[in-house]
Structures are given as structure tokens and as C-alpha cells.
A and B are shown apart, each in its own frame.
Chain A
Amino acid sequence: MHKITLDISTSPHLVKGLSTDTIMKHVVYALLPAAAFGVYAFGLNALLVMMATSVGAVLTEHLLCKYSKKESTIGDYSALLTGLLLGMTLPPNFPLWMALFGSVVSIGLGKFIFGGLGNNVFNPALVGRAFLQATFPVAITTWYNAFAPDRFYNVSSSVLAFPFMQPKVDAISGATPLSALKFDGVMTTANDLAFGFINGSTGETSALFIVIGGIYLGWKKMLNWRIPISILLTAFLLSGIMYLIDPTKYPTPFFTLFAGGLMLGAVFMATDMVGSPITSMGLWVYGILIGTLVVIIRLWGGLPEGVMYAILLGNAATPHIDNLIKQRVYGTSKKIAS
């Protein structure tokens, strides 16, 4: 983008920056490997759930724009991204009607009610997921085993549950590495975790593909590397300390990194530009806060997983972080009075 030749022109002197839809488009691309692995691991069920949330999110955005007499914003890929992210954080056997419901909440309550893209306080996909977690706590913690032999031609009856009716659990439900640890003290090996041979939400199981997506975005400068690095580093160090204190009670730091939604959250959710602070210093504070919360919730909380709540709390703290860490105005010695 930098030109060596000297251009002489009148102001404004602007370089064409990255537009919203380009960034969103690339984030969707970066998510695809992990999503594809999810489909490979969990089969048709996972594909249907992700399609339901994506279509639901785009449709909701379109209808809400139409109803409020605004220009439709579905062309900027942000609704598609929200829908896809939501689908990836759900269990692969999640009932479709609940998934659709969640995507409506994501866009409607998570984004539109604040005034659309750029004004939302929280990551919309996580708002949808938090709502589903509180509304249907049983369905969202029912996990089917990955790599079932009939996964490519058999759709589970729980996925096709009739709207507003309870899903029937028809397969053996398996434990995720986190719930296995929390409730039964069973540790999953680091290899299985890194490559994704485990149970869990559709998009969170393969740490490898998520990291590849993250590196792609970092290379394209569409992702601020400070956020994932600070979150993962904090979580690693804190759980490392706890592991050193009592290895029989606490998981290894590698387990903390690769189990559950930490990777997906750190790379794709906490990095949402709208919900994260602007200054570099602020980003570090934000990342450390989320990393600490994840470890605290996982080790001492009632739930096995805490990434979702940690990021939502991080989002909530963002305006305050920005307020506290303000850029010094050039030429003055004091911070801008607030």
C-alpha cells in the first residue's frame, strides 16, 4: 500500500483502509477450516445446526432492517459471521428450533437493539449463546460422541425436535473433556485435545484449525494479536501456577489451553473489534482480565466452562478500560480530563 513516489494532492490524504465487509468476509474464511473439521467430526447434525444459525441470523438482520426502514445490512457479512460463530459454539446435536431461536436473539438482542453493527456492547454470538445456556440448560449440555460411524447419513432426532418441544436424546451422550474433569476427575490427553478427537461444541474441538485461522487473520492484519496472546498467556500461566501447587487437583496448563472453547473464544470472539478496547495497553488489560476469569470460573465455578461468561464480562469492562487508559493528547502532560 505504501507508495514510494511522491503524490501531491489536496487534503484529505487518506489511504484506503480495510472496509468492514472485507474484514468480515476474511474472518468467515478463517473460520471455515474449524467448521469443516466440526462437520467431519460430528457429521450432518453439526452441518444442519450451523446452517440453521447462519440462515437464522442473516434472515433476522434482513427482516429487522426492513421493519425499521433501514437499508439492509446483510451484505457486510457480519450477520453471517455471528450466525456461524453461534453455530460453532453449540453442541452438534442441538435442536434446530433452539438454534434458530438463538440466532434471532443474537441479532435482535445482541446487536440490533443497540443500533446495529458497531454499536453493540457484547459479542452478539455470545449473547445468543448465553441466552440459550440460561433458557435450555439441559439441551446445551447434552453432548453426543464425536466420530459416530453413522454421522454422515443419520440425522439425530434431537436435532429435528418439534419446535417448542423437548428433544429426545437417542444416542449415548458423552462427556466433554472439561465436564469429565470437573465431575469425574478424568483427564483427556493433550494430543486428542490439540487435534480435536474429543467431544464438545462443533467448532471448538480442533485447536489446530482454529490456530491456523487465527494466524491467517493475524497475517492479514485483520486481527489484533495482542488479544489472543494475552488471554492464552494469562490462562496458561495461572493454571500453570495452580497445577504446580496441586497437580492432583488441577489440570495441566496445556489442558486449560486446548480444552473447551478457550481457543475459539480467544481467537474469534474476544477479538470482535466492537467489544474490545482501542489502545494497545487496554487490549492487554482486557486479555488478562478474560484469561483470569476463564481460569477462575473453570477451577472454582459451578460450571465446567467459563469462556463465554469471561468474554462477555470482558466486553462489559471495555468502556471502562478505555476510559482509564486514554491516549495522552500530543503536547500536553496530562491525560484528557474525562
Chain B
Amino acid sequence: MSHSQNIEINTASSDKKMLIAMGGIGIICAILIVLTYETTAPMIEKNKAEALERAIFKVLPDITKTQAYQLNPDNTFTKSTSNDSKLPKVYGGYDDAGKLKGIAIQANGKGYGEVLNILYGYDPMQQKIIGFNVLESKETPGIGDKIEKGTFPDNFKAMDVSLSDDGSTLRNEIITVKQGEKTQKWEIDGITGATVTSRAVGNILNVSAKQWLPKVYKNVNSFTVKTAEQ
């Protein structure tokens, strides 16, 4: 083998050879990666958009079209054009006639173990949460994942999140109560045996709703008007 003597003789020529070898391999690798990226990028983009779309369709019933909006630093919403924008986003959902049916908002916070990422649908006309979906969860299988099954998602079919009179925060805090003790429309019926996770959902929703709903409600026209123009 030719390289067996390279160990002993470390001359300028072997340095050059090393550089050429590494550079050559690097170029081959770079070409391979770029080729794969070019072929798969549109498919990945499509898959990602579809996954988010599916989730939005789940939390906003009866919609046929979605549109992403970004929250600008001056607290206004404009149609989000670029995918790379780092500004926080919400998603409007519209029916066939182009009428706004609701806004999907992402929220995350600490679950039982790791971060719990959820998406919920808000109807600004009725001031209600109308849908709920778990985007990402690492909760204990068999316990924490009960928030995706059974009657728990029913809590969010018509949940009262009306704003306080000055429109700055929620009139009633969203809280999770013990299973079977829900009496108010802003309460979440908890899950016995998954107390921590079901309470985490309540907390995450409460924090996110307080932060987002006043802004969305105040600017509700920017969601309707923009679509009318289309």
C-alpha cells in the first residue's frame, strides 16, 4: 500500500497530498449534498407545509383555505410572505367564500417532562377557542398522551375566552380543574392520572391566550380585509 511510508516521512509533498485528499473528498461530498438538497427541497417544503396545514384544519373546523400572518414589532398583523421570517406567526382559516372562520395560534410551555407544543383555534367573532391539537409532545406514553384522546379535546370546542372590558387581558383565567368538576366555560376538565399534563395544557393556553388574544382581537380587521382583497 502506498500510504504505509507516509508515517515516517512527513515532508512538504505529503502535506500537499493530505490537503489535496481532504479538499477532493470535500468537493465530492459537497456536490453529493447539493444534488440531494436540490432534488428533495421542494418535497420537504411541501411536506412541512402539509403537516402544518393538516394541524390548522384540525383546530379550525369547516375551513378550506389558510393564510399565514406575521406579528410585526408594532403589534400589527400583515400577511407573511417569506418563510424564513423570524417574526411570530398566526394562521387565519377561511371558508370557500373567503370568510374568516378563525385564527390558529401556536403555543408551547413545559409539560410533565419536556416542552409541549400545541396549536389552538380562536374564533374572534364569538371570542371562543374552537379547536385544539398537540403538535409535539414527549409526555409519558399511556398517561400524558391522554390529552390527545378521549373527551379531553372536547374541552376546546367552545371554550369561553372573552376579553376583559378594557381588552387588555382575559376576563377569566383559563384553569384546569379536577376531572368532572368543570362548571364554567373557561375551565378545562382535567384528567385523573394525567394531572400534571392536563394542568400544563391549561397553563400554556392561559399564558398564550393572555399574550395573543388581545392583539388578535384588536386587529381582527387585518385578517378579514386582506383576504377580501384577494
Which residues of A are at the interface with B, using a C-beta cutoff of 8 A?
A: 137-138, 141-142, 173, 179, 183-184, 302
Contacts and interface: CB of A to CB of B under 8 A. Distances in A.
A138 B178 contact: no
Interface string B64-76: 0000000000000
Given A137-B143, A142-B193, A179-B195, 5 more contacts: A137-B142, A138-B193, A173-B192, A183-B178, A184-B178
Contact of A302 (B142, B178, B193, B196): B196
Contacts of B199: 183
B167 interface: no
A183 B198 CA distance: 11
A138 B112 CA distance: 15
Contacts of A141: 193
B68 to A, nearest CB: 35
Contact of A138 (B113, B142, B196): B142
Nearest to B194: A138
A302 B112 contact: yes
A302 B138 CA distance: 14
Instruction: Bin chain B's interface residue count.
Output: 10 to 19
Closest 4 CB pairs of A and B: A183-B195, A138-B193, A302-B112, A137-B143
Nearest to B196: A302
Nearest to A184: B178
Interface in B101-120: 112-113
A179 B199 CA distance: 14
A183 B113 CA distance: 16
B6 interface: no
B140 interface: yes
A184 B196 CA distance: 11
A134 to B, nearest CB: 9
Nearest to A183: B195
A302 B142 CA distance: 16
Contact of B140 (A137, A142, A184): A137
B45 to A, nearest CB: 38
Contacts of A173: 192
Nearest to A179: B195
Interface string B123-144: 0000000000000000010110
Contacts of B113: 302
B195 A138 contact: no
Of residues A137, A141, A173, which shows the largest number of chain B Cβ atoms within 10 Å of its Cβ? A137
A158 B113 CA distance: 29
11 contacts: A137-B140, A137-B142, A137-B143, A138-B193, A141-B193, A142-B193, A173-B192, A183-B195, A183-B199, A302-B112, A302-B196
Contacts of A179: 195
A116 B199 CA distance: 44
Contacts of B192: 173
A137 B112 CA distance: 14
Nearest to A138: B193
A173 B196 CA distance: 17
Contacts of A184: 178
Interface string B168-179: 000000000010
Contacts of A142: 193
A284 to B, nearest CB: 33
Contacts of B178: 183-184
Contacts of B195: 179, 183
B97 to A, nearest CB: 46
A183 B178 CA distance: 9
Contacts of B143: 137-138
A184 B112 CA distance: 17
A173 B140 CA distance: 22
Nearest to B140: A137
Contacts of A138: 142-143, 193
Nearest to A173: B192
